Amino acid sequence: MGFSFVKHLLVVLISFWVFADPAFAKHGGITRHYKFDVRMQNVTRLCQTKSIVTVNGQLPGPQITAREGDRVIIKVVNHVQYNLTVHWHGVRQLRSGWADGPAYVTQCPIQTGQSYVYNFTVTGQRGTLFWHAHISWLRVTVYGPIVILPKRGVPYPFPQPYKEVPIIFGEWWKTDTEILINQAMQTGLAPNVSDAFTINGLPGHLYNCSAKDTFKLKVKPGKTYLLRLINAALNDELFFSIANHSLTVVEADAVYTKPFKTDTVLITPGQTTNVLLKTKRHSPNATFLMAARPYATGPAAFDNTTTAGILEYHLPSPVPKSNKNKIHLPLLKPSLPIFNDTTFAANFNKRVRSLATPNFPANVPQKIGRRFFFTVGLGIMGCPQSQTCQGPNNTRVAAAVNNVSFVMPTTALLQAHFFNQNNGVYTTDFPANPPFNFNYTGTPPANIMVSSGTKVVVLPFNTSVELVLQDTSIIGAESHPLHLHGFNFFIVGQGIGNFDPKKDPAKFNLVDPAERNTVGVPSGGWIAIRFLADNPGIYIYITNYDGKGRKQKLPPPPSDLPKC
């Protein structure tokens, strides 16, 4: 399906935009133009300077700002040695699949010295999303926020914040990450874990040489701030908390939620969460640590470190400026869950529910046209003849869905689909169920070899889909973050252990389930999602056929679509 595997082989933000044509367009919004110059930039972190791939020389990259209904045009110019694409993570891309961005799926990469114009309209969405490179591991440093404001005159369904602040979590490696992932793909072993996590590109003072590389959020007492949390890390779900402050969750993946208070937020790679932070009525005699560290459940090594920023209150005006720098207030630290707190994770995720009001309904599919059961986990594959792999008997570890490890094609799937040139590019026989039944979360089967192929599921336009994603214990149970391109979905059920098709559906929430674009399949458990296949195009694992009407068909590709 349109899932991107986030695990296993697989600064204050500066906005840059030019409103070249603010005239109202046919879609009722304005057209906003951006230019992304992809270039190398020397950056120093953890006492070490290295050259990284950036957009406009920034880490994180520039913020995309638009309103619901706006058309967004981004010209991406590639000045680096690597082929590149950019994915606008969570943007529905209704009938604009050519702009979605995953390499060799919806487009061929932008080659060195070339450019491509991404052109899409933000339809029926408002909130926080983000963009990132979608080829190899370039997204380690090529990412930035997308802020979609409501239409003019439409208020938030929560108190208007005094200020809005994007907070983007990332990862940092001292080594060259392109070399790192290429070595991992060659040997079949997982790549080395990161050396640090970051908040808005900065690791924070808990790491060596990083006292000056600490994000600081200065706030005023008695105000409400909207924090736009984005997990742009590659591999790790993160716990986030601010010492002595509670947070109110009001949105997830650009969909309003029923507000709920929490001391800690859990955020999966690829997810976004908007929270309200209400500051204390009076400036306290303290500063407060904002900290994030991983939630990890599998057998693999992980970066067990903590990134930190500082929440700092403006001092009362009577304090002379000359004395403000001399005041050293105590720094209070939050209490975060232990790294493998599956109970907290399950309870937090169950609290996220759609707002489900007349203005913001939860349109959960009630009648299902196609049902799928996908096992999600690990296995082993044979080693290519030209390589030496370090798994058992010269094998390598691979991620697989229903025992099929996806093989990236060398021609973009969407072009092959649109021009009916799919012979030899992909097949339409992706299995709707695993090849055989076993105790998915119990003792693994003796044979854990997986097959491989470029296979997709075919869905007619407007098919209502129910999909159960089941973690397996093969090699080790762990949480698997998965992202669905082209569609939002409703999380109607989740549980620990094996999914029971006779008993579990009776407990599905079909009224106000969370609506998201990214989900973490729980470690040793399952998750059930429903969505409407109403966006013609092709995605990883999914082909959604055109409908009969003109507005139910994918238009032809733009003239500057890159060639492979």
Give the pLDDT of the chain (564 residues) as one tens digit per residue. 443 333 433 322 222 233 333 334 445 789 999 999 999 999 999 999 999 999 999 999 999 999 999 999 999 999 999 999 999 999 999 999 999 999 999 999 999 999 999 999 999 999 999 999 999 999 999 999 999 999 999 999 999 999 999 999 999 999 999 999 998 888 877 899 999 999 999 999 999 999 999 999 999 999 999 999 999 999 899 999 999 999 999 999 999 999 999 999 999 999 999 999 999 999 999 999 999 999 999 888 999 999 999 999 998 766 555 555 556 899 999 999 999 999 999 999 999 999 999 999 999 999 999 999 999 999 999 988 888 888 788 888 889 999 999 999 999 999 999 999 988 899 999 999 999 999 999 999 999 999 999 999 999 999 999 999 999 999 999 889 999 999 999 999 999 999 999 999 999 999 999 999 999 999 999 999 999 999 999 988 999 999 999 899 999 999 999 999
What value, to the nearest 5°, has the Cα angle with vertex 290 and ends 285 and 296? 150
Mention the CATH class of domain 158-353: mainly beta
CATH architecture, domain defined by 27-155: Sandwich (2.60)
Of 37, 70, 50, nearest in space to 147 by CA: 70
Looking at domain 370-544, its CATH class is mainly beta
**Peptide bond before 22: cis, by omega within 30 degrees of 0?**
no
Q: What is the pTM of this model?
A: 0.93
Give backbone dihedrals phi and psi of 351, rounded to 5 degrees, phi first: -80, -15
Ranges of beta strands (E only) in 220-348 are: 224-231, 237-242, 247-252, 255-262, 264-267, 272-278, 287-295, 307-313, 331-332
Rounded to the nearest 5 degrees, what angle is found at the Cα of 354, between the Cα atoms of 280 and 5?
Answer: 100
CA distance 303 to 294: 7
Chain region(s) in the chain for CATH 2.60.40.420: 27-155, 158-353, 370-544
Name the DSSP class of 353. Answer: B
The rounded distance, in Å, linking the Cα atoms of 239 and 230 is: 12
